[in-house]
C-alpha cells in the first residue's frame, strides 16, 4: 500500500485512483481535511466536508487569501503562536498545528466561534519557485473553547469574577517592569 501511495508501483493510473480513494476516505471519516493555496496565498482547494462544516458555499472561500479566512487568537498565545498567520504565510514558513479562528464574516466578539488546527508546508516547483501551501486542518472548536474556559478559571475568581492572586501578581510584575525602563 505504501509503495502505491508514494507512486513507486508500476501502474501509475492505479496509483492515482488509489490516492484519490484514500483522500476521499480520509475526508469522509472526519479525521481532517485537505487544503491548498496558490503562490499568492489564496485558497485554491478545501475539502468539501470542511466547507460543509463551515456552513458556506465553496465560492465564498475559494480565491480568498487564507489570512482573510483564518486568524490566530491574539488574546491567547500560550500555545507559542506569537506570529500572525499573515506573517507566516508571507514568510513561507511551515505551519504546524496552528490553532486559528475562522474569521470570514465573523467578528472576534461573536459568541459562537469556529477554531481549527491548521498544518501546512510550502511547496516549490522543480525550479524552486514557491507555488503555494498544501496542508491539513481539523476542527478543534470544543477542545479550544474548553481550554479558554480553563484558562479563565485559573486566572479569575469564579464567585466574584475578579482577577485572582496569580493574575494580579502577573499584572503588577508587568506594570512594574514597564516602569523600570
List the strands of the sheet with 70-72, edge to edge: 43-46, 33-37, 130-139, 115-124, 95-102, 70-72
**pTM reported for the whole predicted model:** 0.69
SS3 for 134?
Answer: strand
Written as nine digits, the cell of 86 is: 499573515
pLDDT of residue 119: 94
76: number of Cβ within 10 Å? 14
- Give me the phi and psi of 80, to 5 degrees please: 85, 10
136: number of Cβ within 10 Å? 17
- DSSP structural state of residue 132: E
pLDDT in tens, 13-50: 678 889 888 888 887 787 789 999 999 999 999 998 88
Q: Is the CB of residue 65 less than 8 Å from the CB of residue 42?
A: yes
Report which of 34, 14, 15 is spatially closest to residue 24, judged by C-alpha positions.
Answer: 34
Most confident of 23-27, 53-57, 122-126, 171-175: 122-126
Integer Rg of the chain from CA: 21
Q: Mean per-residue pLDDT for 152-171? A: 77
SS3 for 43?
Answer: strand
Amino acid at each position: 500500500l505504501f509503495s502505491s501511495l508514494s507512486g513507486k508501483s508500476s501502474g501509475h493510473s492505479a496509483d492515482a485512483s488509489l490516492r484519490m480513494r484514500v483522500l476521499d476516505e480520509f475526508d469522509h471519516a472526519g479525521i481532517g481535511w485537505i487544503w491548498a493555496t496558490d503562490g499568492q496565498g489564496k485558497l485554491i482547494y478545501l475539502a468539501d466536508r470542511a466547507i460543509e462544516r463551515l456552513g458556506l458555499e465553496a465560492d465564498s472561500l475559494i480565491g480568498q487569501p487564507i489570512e482573510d479566512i483564518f486568524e490566530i487568537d491574539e488574546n491567547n498565545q500560550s500555545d507559542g503562536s506569537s506570529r500572525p498567520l499573515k506573517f507566516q504565510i508571507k514568510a513561507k514558513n511551515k505551519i504546524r498545528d496552528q490553532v486559528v479562528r475562522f474569521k470570514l464574516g465573523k467578528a472576534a466578539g461573536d459568541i459562537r466561534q469556529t477554531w481549527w488546527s491548521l498544518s501546512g508546508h510550502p511547496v516549490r516547483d522543480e525550479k524552486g519557485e514557491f507555488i503555494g501551501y498544501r496542508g491539513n486542518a481539523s476542527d478543534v472548536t470544543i477542545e479550544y473553547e474548553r481550554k479558554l474556559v480553563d484558562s479563565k478559571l485559573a486566572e479569575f475568581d469564579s464567585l466574584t469574577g475578579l482577577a485572582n492572586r496569580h493574575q494580579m501578581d502577573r499584572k503588577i510584575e508587568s506594570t512594574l517592569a514597564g516602569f523600570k525602563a
